[in-house]
Structure formats: C-alpha cells, structure tokens
A = this chain, B = another copy of it.
C-alpha cells in the first residue's frame, strides 16, 4: 500500500492485442513528487476504471503513451499546495488517476473542488455524480430529452452508465425501463434492487428477439452502451420519432473495431429516428445542474451509488479487466486510501 514517501502508479507497457491482459501493465514505484508553483500535490483516495480507457490503450492521437502513468478520473485530498485556489485538506476531482499521488492545477483538465454534500459518500463523485452519472444525465435530459411516460431501453444496464441511466430515467418519470445485462445475477439485480420493469441476459438468445419480447409495444428511447446487435434490436422496436443516445460500444473496444453495422440502419429513415453520439466531455457544464437534481435523492436514500469497489492501487488492473469482462455491478472503482 501507499505511504507518504513512495508513490505508486500503473503503466501500460504493451499495446493490448484484443482483450487486455495483466501482462500489458506494470505497477511502478517512484518518489512522491513535490508541487511546483501553481500546482498542488494530491493523494488519491478513489479512482475510476472505465470502458473508454480500453480505446485509449491502442495509442494514436490522444491515446495513452507506453511506460507512463495511465490517466483517469479520481478523487483525492490535497497534501500540499502551491496553487492559490487549493488548500491542504481540500477534496478534489481530477483526471490524473491510476496512481496514488498526482500533481494538479485547479481548473486545468477538469480539476475542480468537490462541493461536498452532507450524507453523500465519496464514491458518488466517481459514479452517479461523476462521469458515468453525467453521461446518463446528459444523454437523457439533452440528447434524447426524455419525456414523462416514455419507455426506455438501456444496454449494459448493470454497469456504471447503465445503473445511472436507470436511476435518472425513473426520477425523470420514464414509463417502462428495460435493461440488458450479461448474467442472471445482473438481471435479478436490475429487476430487483434497481427497479427495472424488465431485463434479459443477452447470452440467453438473440438480443433482438429478447428485446421484442420485453418491449412488445415498442420503446421511445434507447441508451446504447454496446452497439452491434443491441443497436439493431433497438432500431427494430423503436417507435416512430424514437431517439437513440449512443454512449459507448463496449462490444467494439476489443479486437474487431469494425463490427457489421446494423443490417436495419435504413429504418432510421423509415421511422424518422434520431441516432446521436454522446461524449461526456462535451457536457461538463451540466455538472452542477446534475448534482442539484440528484443529491436530494442520494441523501434521502431513494437512489444509491451502485459501485463495485476494489481495495488498493495494486488491484487496479484486476478492477479494469473485471469491468471489461462484465464482472461488476454498477460503477467499478478502486479505493486507495480512506
């Protein structure tokens, strides 16, 4: 585990061929850095591993370099500051995760102080109040502009964005909420604790057929975390003027990056559908609005944070690979310190 004298970081040391494996990564020690003028030293408390990291591991423009610390969303506490906007003890959200200690600058690369709502656990700021929650919030309130009573399908519904989508859609007054997931346990979690109206395991048969059974009267909105067969199945059951918020394509991140696109894509014309991509980085201006909307429900216990939390920086790769394999319920996080 970390000390105040040694910093630990996760490096990518090989480009994954298809699915990443543990040997693609290394845990590297270094001295804890000292903050230069205008920066603050942060001890990370929680970090987030996300599907989009897989894409960045292929390198290229904006991708991860080899043999340097990986990056990702994290929450930490300021240990020492030469940034006039940050003081020792401040809790900050930043993007220099996959490491125990980081140097940050307030306002740079999304670094901000946490608003710190009473009764809201720190995990919330990397899940329902973090990037995954903001993705779901932007997709539902902006991209598809969900209206009360509309029926919704979300794929990878037991994952980070999926669980947030279920919660927020319910709070917005959605009609039927239908989810897909990758195991019977997850399906039970969706229709049980998470209150989905219907759910299915995509291993149990063709996605299109299962979705058509789960949504015999069609759907108005689809939040797509998967692409491929899921997208095709949703296009089939969407009603006229249906909208799709395309958030991610976890089915495409490993190996074949160009799956057969939906055979029925032209139904977008026949049914006047709208398919729109959502990148959370374009919606950071909604952060405060989302917190104002969700925090009362978190404080009252009406919704939870829905996280799978690994303990210790040396379990970060395990957390990431498990998330990619779909072993998680909700958002996958790693706790580095209390």
| Chain A residues with a Cβ under 8 A of chain B | 227, 246-249, 252, 257-258, 260-266, 268-279, 282
Contact = CB atoms under 8 A, between A and B. Distances in A.
A274 B276 contact: yes
| A interface majority secondary structure | loop
A56 to B, nearest CB: 12
Given A261-B261, A261-B262, A275 B274 contact: yes
Contacts of A264: 258
Given A258-B263, A261-B262, A264-B258, A277 B282 contact: no
Contacts of A261: 260-263, 265
Interface-central residue, A246, A257, A277, by most chain B CB under 10 Å: A277
A234 B265 CA distance: 16
A279 B269 contact: yes
Contact of A269 (B246, B266, B271): B246
B282 A272 contact: yes
Nearest to A276: B274
Nearest to A248: B269
Interface-central residue, A264, A268, A273, by most chain B CB under 10 Å: A268
A266 B252 contact: yes
B260 A246 contact: no
Contact of A273 (B227, B262, B276): B276
Given A258-B264, A260-B260, A269 B247 contact: yes
Given A272-B276, A272-B277, 11 more contacts: A227-B266, A249-B266, A257-B266, A260-B261, A261-B262, A262-B265, A268-B277, A269-B278, A273-B277, A275-B275, A275-B276
A266 B226 CA distance: 10
A43 to B, nearest CB: 33
A276 to B, nearest CB: 4
Nearest to A243: B276
Nearest to A258: B263
Given A260-B260, A274-B276, A275-B274, A269 B249 contact: yes
A264 B249 CA distance: 12
A144 B133 CA distance: 28
A21 B245 CA distance: 42
Contacts of A279: 269-270, 272
A249 B270 CA distance: 11
A73 B223 CA distance: 38
Interface-central residue, A248, A258, A269, by most chain B CB under 10 Å: A269
